[in-house]
Structure formats: C-alpha cells, structure tokens
Structure 1
C-alpha cells in the first residue's frame, strides 16, 4: 500500500511539473542595452521572467543606437521568425503595427490599469487603433541644462533661466577662459539643442505645430526664424573641437570644469554620477532656458510581436506585466538614470534630479505640456526626422545659410516620406 501511495504521489508530482512546464514558455527579447546600467536592468528583467519559470532568450544587438538592431529585426520578421518583444519607440511602433505583425496586449494593460498610471500622450504612442501593442519602460527628459557650479562661480555668472540670460552667462564664461557650452557636433546632438531652443523661445503650442504636426506655415513663420537665429548664436560659445565629439566626452568637459554648461538629456546624469559627483553640489540640473513648464520626453518601449505558441504567448504577457510593475520600473530607472513611466510612484531612492524630473513629468502631464522629442525618434516618421536633422546641422555648420534659407529647407524636409 505504501508503494502504491508513493507511486501515486510521484505520478501527481510529475503531472504537476508537466503542467508547469506546459505553462512556461520562452521569451526572446531584442534590445540594444549592452553596457553599464542598461545591461544590469536587462538582467533584472530576465530574472523576473525566470522566477515565473519562463526561459529568457537574449537577443542583444549592440551599436548604432538601435539602427543595427532594426536591420536584424526586419530580416527576422520578413522570414516569419519574429522575437517575442523588440525595443522600438515612437512613430516606428505605429509603422510596425500597420504591417499587422504586432499583438494586442489590452488584457494585460487592463489588469495593470495602464490607462490610469500612464499619461494619455504617452499611452497613445503605445497604442495602435486604440489597442496597446507595446509596453513603455521609462521616461528620459531631453530638455535639461547641465552646469558646473564652480565654473559659474569662477566666471561670476548665474544659472540662466531664459535665453537672454543664457547668452549673458555664456559671455561671462568665455571671458573667464572657460568653454561656455560643451557640445558634440553630431546631427542628433545639434537637434537636441535646437528642439530645446524651439521649446524655450516658441513655447509648447509652437513646438507642437512645428515639430510634431510639421505645420508648413509654422515652419516658415517669423517665430521659427527667431528660433533658428537663437540656436545659431549658441555655436559661437562652443569650442573648435566640437565637430564629431561624442556626447559623453562633452559631458566630461562640464564634469572637469573645462566647460560651464551642456544641453543634453538626462542620460548625461549617469556620467556625473559615475564620476562620483553629487547633484546640487558638484553639478546642477535645470530645465533648459524658458522650458521650466514643459517637458520633452524620450521613451524606451518594447513592441510585442505575434506568436503562435500558447506557452510563449503567456511568457510574452508576463513580460509586459513585469515591465510595467512598480518593482521593475524602480529598479530599471535607478540603473538607467531615467524615471519611471508610471506616475504616482515613490521616488525615495532616486536622486534630486530624478525627483525633479518626476515631479515635472506629473505636472506637465496634467497641464498638457508633455511633448515628444523629435531628436530622439518620438515625434515624427523616421524619414522626415532624418531629413530635418540634416537641415539643422547644415545650418549650424554653414557660414552662408541664413535662418530664412534654413526655414525653407526645414519645411521641405518635413514633407519627406
């Protein structure tokens, strides 16, 4: 009888294990988080899925800010072998959804009350025809001004809050023998500065019309001419070695006190922190001049592809659930230097810059002053974005192109498809 009982228990245990194995699936994730805090965050997500019995298949493609990854992804999808999830953002999500290859995760979103914790302007980017097709991971604020307080003190200058003040401060730094603005002459860095000027000089409504809706009248109007003229003035306060410099090397100039200021997204904060610097003491983070009541965002997200295997579909849903969980949102963003996309989260473990960013994100979400960053692939289709970046960099680097010339070229570039 004992043997029969043991056999019965063993059979039940095997059945239970088999059922667990049937429910467990594989989740293959394409991303380009291959270094530093990003890699740590990806590992944390992997551990979360493995705890639920699923197998994590890492599909990391380094380089090119995701360009290489997108090339690989296209070939995989065309061959009918799409991963469970891929790191895609902005209007590209809608482009993939139109191809009919993404899956609907409304059930996961409803269970997690995503509509209640994600601002509508962000949620709309994650949806196609009203259905969630992607899970957002984080929020980067792009319209930041970083400054070295010692450099400002040495120059007898103050942190600028308007563009007029910015040029007064820049002039003082120049006279003190300090590079006023650390910059790297790459088209995305040029456009990062340009869109902060557009937001600060023109305001939120202007920004939306010009750089989100691509309205021809706004692009060729007097306000845009003023924006371009202001943007071009900044170049006089950069150094001759700026062309081709990577953004992190520009940040290093501010860290060392070789430069006074940098206009860059909050990934720059990671460089200060890695150098052992403390916010508020060794460096200052502030909204770019004139943009205190607005927020340009850059959001990483995972698009979820259609799968045939039921167990893998379950693993994919668990991945989406994990990405939006408060625990993962905290862990990931502490590592990446960004802030949680979920509103209403505790920010106790975050630094002062992140706390300010989160407070501003929530306030701007309520006020309707959250705007997508065109420089970082959040606002317009890729073809138009690329063409507009080229025009802005041509204007930045040309001694002959006028603001009026640049306006005409910008309006033409906005029509690129």
Structure 2
C-alpha cells in the first residue's frame, strides 16, 4: 500500500512539474538579426528575458532586409500559430494591424513611460489606431558611406563628400588594382544604394517628393534621370562577383582591404566593431556623397502578435519593456552599430560614428531633413516598395537607359 502511495505521489509530482514546465512563460521571436554584430545583440536580449524568468525561443530567418522572414511570418499567421513577436517595421506594422492580428501593448508603454522617452516620429509608427502594437529597438542611419583609409592611402585618394570626389576616389582605387565599391547584388542593397544617390543628387525635398510622396512629375524629372545616370556610372566600379552577395560579405571586403568603399546603413559598423576595428583609424564613416545635411532612417521594431495564453501575454509585456530598458538599448545599439531610440541616452560608451549619428539626427529633425528610408520599409507600403525595387534591380542588371528607368519608376509607384 505504501509503495503504491509513493508511486502515485511521484507520478503526481511529475505531472505537476511537467505542467509547471509547460506553463513557464516563453517568447518566440521571429527576426532576421543573424550577422555577427546583430547576433550578439539578440543574445543580450535573450539574457535579459531569461533573467526575468521568461524562456526565449529563437526564430531567426537569415536574409538581408527581411524578405525571407516576412514570408515565414505570413505562413505562421495563416496557419493560426503566430510567433509572440516579429521584427516588422514602418508601414508593414499598419498592414498587419489591419489584419487584426496584433496585440495591444499599451500597458507596457504606460509602465515604461514611452510617450516621454520616444520622439513622435517613432511613436506614430509603433501604434495602430492609437494603440501601441510594437516596440522600437533602435534608429539606424541608412545614408552612410564606409571607407577603408588604408585603401585610400594606397590609392592616393581622399574620402569623398560629393559625387565628383567619389568618382575621383573610385578611379584611383581601381587603378591601384582594388575593388572601388563593395556591393551585394540583391534588390534591397541596390535600393539602398539608389536612395542615397537620389538624396545626394536632388536633396532632402526632392527625396521626399520622389520616394515618400511618389509624385509622378518628380519621378520622371531631369533630376531623377540624373540620379539614374549617376547610378549607371557607379555600377562600373562594382566587381563582377557581386551578384547575390550578402551585405556583410561586402562589408568584409572593406574591412579586409579588398575594397575601398561601401554604401550601407550603420548596421555595417557592427561588423567593423565585431572585427575589432576602430572608427577614425581602421575605417571611416562619412555621409553618402552629397547627403551630409540629411538623414535617412530605418527603425527596427518588434510587433506583438495576439496570443491566447495569459502567461504568454504577460511575457509579451516583459519583452516590450526589456527592449525599451536603458540597459538593453545601450548594449544592443553598441553591438549593432545603430543608436538608441530613447531620448537622453548616455553617449559616453558610443563611438564617434554613433555620436555623429545622434547629432545629425537631432539637427536634421529640426531642419526637416529627417527622412524615412524607402529601401528599408519606412516610407511606402510593401507593394509599391517591391515594385520600385524591381525597377532599380532591373536597371542595375541591364542596359536600361536612365530615361526608361525614370518612366518605369513612375509606373511602379502607381502599384496598388
């Protein structure tokens, strides 16, 4: 009898322990932070969550600007099993909000006093119909040019501030037997390069009319044709093996001195930092040619999806406030190359590139030259952005004329 009782007790305890383990709160986070600097940043968030008693289930999907992750997310939502949170940004947050699948996280925003720590340009993006449904992680500056000063010295060139200087430097690097421009031939990378060229050619107001408002006359204007002419010339400095190359492999070419320059957002700095390189000494961060008075931004964010389990709902709020905590904002952005989204963040641990980004963001915000990145899903809806990227990719991979490209761009902007 005693033995039977003992066995029953052990079985009951095992059942309870199994139930407790099953009920332990967990967050499953779908993201595409998979390169060296990015992966370090995610590891820090995982540590914070686990220190708060919440298990982290990683759902990492590699692929540059997140196209693969977006496909995986659609499949999960359609199957009725969305992740707890997913890396989504810009107009895509509103698109998912319209589907009725995002969770209200106003409670986390109230507890964390987000309204007083975030600029309105950010809070507007994180809300759907007046309610928070996403939490911002950082602010990236997109219009950077990354430069290897040792390559410049070898070629007898200087860091460019405009396109005339850029082409002069590129010619000298090419003559020195090195790749002038490291680039990955993927549509989102082509679009990243293109939007910096448009901004450097036409200025902030032109960029806004063309790539945010999609004004038809602006898209077919002589200035847009000039932008494509500039892009056509830039193409000649990209090596023949660029097709399909991931962005971080292009960054590695600059880090290793195989290439002189790269147009890429400040997530590239995370790669330099992970390689032990020092800004101002081993690499230079300069505004893309002609864009020093403007700032194209990309805000990474985690959107929260509706989950039924009350424990999982609580875990979502824990995740949201962990992301917004000063400690995580600091360590994530130090690793990733971006800057904290919170106002008044401590600057002392951030390098000269990040401090310049903070200063330029503040200055361009006042001057009206703080602009959403078209290439990184901050400016226009997914369908239009995809159609525009297709035109740019076609131009990069064919002999399409600048005039034909401008006409095709205007047509793509009409995509519904």
Map of 1:301 onto structure 2: 301
Question: Counterparts of 1:63-142 in structure 2 under 5 Å?
Answer: 63=63, 65-142=65-142
The 3 A distance-change label for structure 1 pair 171 and 391 is same
Q: CA deviation at 1:341?
A: 1.4
Q: CA deviation at 1:101?
A: 1.2
Answer yes or no: is 1:351 the counterpart of 2:351: yes
Deviations 1:54-97 (A, max 9, x none): 34343334457533433333233234333321111121111100
Partner of 1:404: 403
Structure 2 stretches lacking a partner, 5+ long: 1-19
Alpha-carbon contact 1:343-1:362 (below 8 Å) kept: no
8 Å CA contact 1:89, 1:300 repeated in 2: yes
* Alpha-carbon distance in structure 2 between the residues aligned to 1:222 and 1:292: 23
Counterpart-to-counterpart distance in 2, 1:230 and 1:108: 47
Q: CA 1:328–1:206 in structure 2 vs 1: closer, same or farther (change >3 Å)?
A: same
Residue of structure 1 equivalent to 2:373 = 373
Contact 1:121/1:370 (<8 A) preserved: no
Q: Tell which deviates more after alignment, 222-231 or 105-114.
A: 105-114
Q: CA deviation at 1:175?
A: 3.4
Tell me what 2:230 maps to. Answer: 230
The reply to whether residue 182 of structure 1 matches residue 179 of structure 2 is: no
Whether the 8 Å contact between 2:391 and 2:409 is mirrored in structure 1 is yes
Contact 2:64–2:246 under 8 Å retained in 1: no
Q: Residue 363 of structure 1 aligns with which residue?
A: 363
The CA deviation at 1:285 is 0.8
Q: Where does residue 207 of structure 1 map in the other structure?
A: 207
Distance 1:101 1:223 in 2: 42
Partner in structure 2 of residue 197 of structure 1: 197
Question: Does the aligned pair in 2 maintain the 1:105–1:133 contact within 8 Å?
Answer: yes
Distance in 1, Cα, partners of 2:185 & 2:385 = 17
Please state how far the C-alpha of 1:179 moved relative to its aligned partner: 2.8
Find the aligned partners of 1:79 and 1:186 in 2 and give their Cα distance: 29
**Distance across 1 between alignment mates of 2:179 and 2:47:** 45
Q: CA deviation at 1:361?
A: 2.1
TM (normalized to structure 1)?
Answer: 0.87
Equivalent-residue separation in structure 1 for 2:46 and 2:277 (angstroms)? 30
Q: CA deviation at 1:345?
A: 0.6
CA shift in 2, pair 1:151/1:40, >3 Å: closer
Distance 1:372 1:155, change over 3 A: same
Conserved? CA contact 1:31–1:86, under 8 Å? yes
**Number of the residue aligned with 1:248:** 248
Distance between the aligned counterparts of 2:132 and 2:252, measured in 1?
Answer: 40
- Write out per-residue CA displacement over residues 137-188 of structure 1, whole angstroms, 9 at most, x where no aligned residue: 1122111111121222233322111122222222333333333222222222
Q: After TM superposition, which residue ranges in structure 1, 4 or more long, deviate above 6 angstroms? A: none
Asked if structure 1 preserves the Cα contact closer than 8 Å seen for 2:37 and 2:274, the reply is no
1:156 aligns to what? 156
User: Deviation string for 1:198-238 (max 9, x for gaps)?
Assistant: 11111111111111121111111222112111121112222
State the alpha-carbon separation in 2 of the partners of residues 398 and 57 from structure 1. 43
Residues 1-16 of structure 1 mapped to structure 2, 5 A cutoff = none
Task: Return closer, same or farther for 1:65/1:144 CA change in 2, 3 Å cut-off.
Answer: closer
**Count of residues in Structure 1 that have an aligned counterpart in Structure 2:** 397
Residue pairs, 1:44-55, within 5 angstroms: 44-55=44-55
* Pair 79,256 (structure 1): closer, same or farther in 2 beyond 3 Å: closer
Q: Do the aligned partners of residues 65 and 193 (structure 1) sit closer, same or farther apart at CA in structure 2, a change above 3 Å counting?
A: closer
TM-score normalised according to structure 2 size: 0.88
Asked whether the 8 Å contact 1:24–1:52 carries over to 2, the reply is: no
Q: CA deviation at 1:408?
A: 0.8
For residue 203 of structure 1, give the secondary structure of its aligned residue in structure 2: helix
Distance, in Å, in 2 between the alignment partners of 1:251 and 1:193 is: 14
For residues 300-333 of structure 1, the C-alpha deviation after alignment (integer angstroms, 9 at most, x for no partner) is 2111122333332222112111111111111111
Measured on the aligned residues, the alpha-carbon RMSD in Å equals 2.4
Distance in 2 (alpha carbons) for counterparts of 1:160 and 1:386: 31
Q: How far off its partner does 1:349 sit? A: 1.7
Name 1:27's counterpart in structure 2: 27
Equivalent-residue separation in structure 2 for 1:334 and 1:319 (angstroms): 19
> Which secondary structure does the structure 1 equivalent of 2:159 belong to?
coil
